[in-house]
Structure 1
Amino acid sequence: MSRPVARRAKQVPLRTHWIVLTMLLVCLSSMLLLNGYTHHLFGTEPDGAVTSGGPAGAVPRAIAGGGPVIDAQPGEVRSVRPANRTIALTFDDGPDPVWTPKILDVLKAQHVKATFFVVGTEVAAHPALARRIVAEGHQIGMHTFTHANLSTAPGWRRSLELRQSQLVLAGATGLSTPLLRPPYSSEPDALTDADWTAIQKTRQAGYLTVLTTQDSEDWRRPGTAKVIANSTPRGTAGQVLLMHDAGGDRSETVAALTKLIPALKARGYTFATVSDAVGLPQPAHDAGLLERGRGLAAIWAMRVSDGVLSLLTWFLYAAGALSVLRAITTVWAARRHARMRDWSWGEPVTEPVSVIVPAYNESAGIEAAIRSLVASDHPIEVIVVDDGSTDGTADIVEAMGIRGVRVIRQRNAGKPVALNTGLQAAHFDLIVMVDGDTVFEPDAVRMLVQPFADPSVGAVSGNAKVGNRRGLLGRWQHIEYVVGFNLDRRLFDLAECMPTVPGAVGGFRRTALERIGGLSDVTLAEDTDLTMALCRDGWRVVYEERAVAWTEAPASLGALWRQRYRWCYGTLQAMWKHRGAWVQRGQSGKFGRRGLTYLLLFQVLLPLLAPVVDVFAIYGLVFLDPLRVGLVWLGFLALQFAMGRYAFHLDGERAGPLWTLPLQQFVYRQLMYLVVIQSVFTALAGSRLRWQRMERYGSLRAPASTEGFP
């Protein structure tokens, strides 16, 4: 294989690209982590549904038998009760966009002030409701950030819950409050040692704990009458009444309030906020400017994370749908293409063929390639264009002394120039282009040229197979060639939009090549550029699966990276060069709207989304149902295996290598999408990629007979 002249390239700065990608992935991971914490570590059980248990010996008697508002100041523990005939209405778990406004309307109509213990994530989702609570004179307290059980939460999470709640409240309302109701708490006499420890820790952070003395049990939804009964005091003692304005259907709560408040007022009860009920100074105070700014930033970060997750979810649905559609379409096309195996293009093509082999430092495999060509059962001439090799490639070919094999030496000018040189020296009208590391089956040339019986055919793609398929890397590339490349080529053939005739094995009509001006050197994927030009010129490009050639695939991850990087970048160059086909008419427009769209969707956009899929999969394993995520992954893997099994059947290959598919998802797949990402970044940066030449190992041998390559 030859290469472009070195002076036409410059080194691409790789580091900046990976810094940008890493930053994007870190931002994405942070957004998902924030979303997962705020939405999937949320305590969803109602307060009264979780009863704490355990020893209570460490709880001071004055607290267990005291009032519901507790100051756990070290050395000065105390609690207070509401005044007689005073009821502090408290609402937990809000604000809720449906029920909080209705409860506020009832309180406003009854001229009653209450205390709302809000959840931080709900305040961030509905900041306007939090502002309305404050604006209408109600008191606001904290119910943690995600309704976490502070008695069982580790210290880091307890601190995070309090700090984030306070920040969000400051951002939404401009206020800071020391009032805290721990989720899943109840009356003072129900406190356990774990509860008391948590109360002491929160006091160290500056919070007063507000428990309850009476539970409406509206979370049970027992009926309006039962809620009223549960909320009615049995004597004249003051009460801190627990109700809920969120967490489910609160229609019974709204209905109960409408009747309960007038009834209790008629019995001489008054309603007040918690601080007024127990005689505390107004606890809430204005938050500092910095705290408000940080709170607003936290709110917007949560909103952005929600938006990012929604966008990613739609992207994943679209990617999944496209992947399934691609699988169904390619398998259907392959099945239909297979039924055309006995299709006759016309009278057998027997005219001789000129085989052009561009060679740059191909000493390792050039002899095997030439011997396989001269063993062909079709009349050919072989033209080896040595493109300035420094390893004696031309000397090896000349020393073979095979009749019908010519060597043309030229200074290094690049593969396209070498092919054009060979084209000018060719004697025949049918041209086959072969890479110097490729070994042909004896009937490959004959099979490759048969479609030229149809005068509309300008080029034919052969069936390139991986010869050195031992080891995991070789098997993975073998799978990709059989499943990815060859299934796609069958589809492209039927849709008449073939984007690439591989350099390893391709046939061309000389008149078609001359009409488009030969090969161009403006891209690094000269085979793709050439094929696209032929399609746009109105020529039909087809796939002949029986024309089998064996190519030497990269034997290391580094070599594979360099090869695919050049392929991908060159394909992007060719797509950009031929972008006008999208809006043209006729055969060119057909190629653009079918072929280029397919490449854009499945060889550019989907690989770019692949890191997102992987990050989202980790998100699902951590925050969602791991079993469900695993089943989705197994379903995707089963779909790939089914496609692979059918593709291997069509190509007459043994299915053994398919067992490596699960491992391929964790190494090879990542390498391939990183190649696409790097190529896209390089293209967007406007950098020119240096030619990446693959190291040759000479692992292929010419077939000994027509029985096929071993």
Structure 2
Amino acid sequence: MFKFTIVITTYNRLSLLQRAVESALAQTLPCEVIVADDGSSDGTEAYIRSLGDRVVYHRNPVNVGHCATMNAAVKLAQGDWIKPIDDDDYLAPNCIEELTKAIARYPQAVLCSTQAIQVSANGQELSRTQPISNAAVDYVPQSEIHYRMLLEQLPFGTPVQVAFRKDAFVKSGGWDSSFEVNYDDIDSWVKIAQYGNAILVNQHLAYRTLWHQGNHLKFSLQQRLHKHISIKEKIYKFVHPKYHDSLPSLQDIQDFLSLYWSLVGFKQGKFAQAFTLLLPVLFSWKGWQLLTQVIYARRCEQTFQQDCPAPRPKQMPLLSEM
């Protein structure tokens, strides 16, 4: 039987880290918990050591960044599967148990993603990600993964949603510091997906905090667009040959992303940045077509929630918002 390790990366966020650690230790199916500290100076070390042998503690002697910290923690992990968590996120108590059940049904999987609840800094629910079907678990063969990621049809998002098999992570080369806190996770999922299938568990088992100190907010729209394009270019190379005849061109995908980020800019009130991104692609018919298709697909996914007793969630964000 395979085992899980929960890896929590942290840097100077003790108050939030405590919530993440408590959620890991409260799992209905206990597993190894590693806290990887990127040289915090806020009492993180004292807190983790106070937990005794319930938590494995790794501390970088100097601050080396999120990617290198994750790679060091995975190297230490004893589990066959890794469940990463950023320190400002946390898990539902039955997360590991439900992921374990799903993976046992599909042992050839190397990636497993769950649905997430987006919460505010004080824990108030803001929105929920949408399942792509009404099945309990969606199975995605390896040959389909990259094509569907390219077209924004698979919700592989932030670390709190995703689990991966350790051996596939190692083969993939780990997290790439050139994407530091800006698509480093998505880049990893793209590489891991070379080595097996994927499954999507349609339960909300993870909580992602949206707040003013989120790492993605440190980057301009232009920087995020540039990284998003580089991720799409990487995915493009991995798409299975059976889809080559139906692939949009890389230029069309770049135009679509520019249109999308310009709309994000207008929504955020960043009008100068938004116009800069919009004007070169304003008359890209293919770009608008792809954007329309993605928006329509997201709205269609909401129909699977019609019988859900919970408050109606917002539309699932694009991969780039994660």
TM-score by length of 1: 0.33
Tell me what 1:482 maps to.
Answer: 129
Aligned mates of 2:240, 2:63 — CA distance in 1 = 39
Residue aligned with 1:434, SS: strand
2:124 corresponds to 1:466: no
- Asked if the contact 1:385–1:408 (Cα under 8 Å) also holds between the matched residues in 2, the reply is yes
- 1:667-678 to 2 correspondences below 5 Å: none
Letter in 1 for 2:192: L
Distance 1:436 1:580, change over 3 A: closer
- Asked if the contact 1:438–1:552 (Cα under 8 Å) also holds between the matched residues in 2, the reply is yes
Distance 1:419 1:463, change over 3 A: same
Residue aligned with 1:504, SS: helix
- 1:68-107 to 2 correspondences below 5 Å: none
RMSD after superposition: 4.4
- 1:227-626 to 2 correspondences below 5 Å: 351-401=2-52, 403-410=53-60, 411-453=62-104, 454-468=106-120, 478-479=126-127, 481-482=128-129, 496=145, 497-498=148-149, 500-523=156-179, 524-535=182-193, 537-546=194-203, 548-554=205-211, 556=212, 559=213, 563=217, 565=219, 569=223, 572-573=226-227, 575-576=229-230, 579=233, 581-582=235-236, 586=240, 593=247, 600=254, 603-608=257-262
Residue aligned with 2:160, SS: coil
Q: Post-superposition shift, 1:385?
A: 0.6
Aligned mates of 1:641, 1:512 — CA distance in 2 = 30
Q: Deviations over 1:595-648 (max 9, x none)?
A: x89975765433436789999xxxxxxxxxxxxxxxxxxxxxxx9997686365
Q: Post-superposition shift, 1:469?
A: 7.9
Tell me what 1:646 maps to.
Answer: 303
Q: Post-superposition shift, 1:585?
A: 5.8
Distance 1:567 1:521, change over 3 A: farther
Letter in 2 for 1:424: K
Q: Deviations over 1:520-549 (max 9, x none)?
A: 1111221011011123x2432332122511
Distance 1:431 1:581, change over 3 A: closer
The one of the two structures with greater contact order (alpha-carbon pairs below 8 A, sep at least 6) is: 2
Residue aligned with 1:416, SS: helix
For the pair shown, which has the larger CA radius of gyration, 1 or 2?
A: 1
Tell me what 1:82 maps to.
Answer: none
Distance 1:450 1:409, change over 3 A: same
Residue aligned with 1:364, SS: helix
- Which structure is higher in strand share? 2
Residue aligned with 1:365, SS: helix
Aligned mates of 2:247, 2:69 — CA distance in 1 = 32
- Asked if the contact 2:221–2:261 (Cα under 8 Å) also holds between the matched residues in 1, the reply is no
Q: Deviations over 1:645-673 (max 9, x none)?
A: 63654765313x77xx9xxxxxxx9xx9x
Distance 1:604 1:647, change over 3 A: farther
Q: Post-superposition shift, 1:468?
A: 2.8
- Asked if the contact 2:168–2:195 (Cα under 8 Å) also holds between the matched residues in 1, the reply is no
Q: Post-superposition shift, 1:417?
A: 0.7
Aligned pairs, number? 276
Aligned mates of 1:651, 1:602 — CA distance in 2 = 32
- Asked if the contact 1:449–1:507 (Cα under 8 Å) also holds between the matched residues in 2, the reply is no
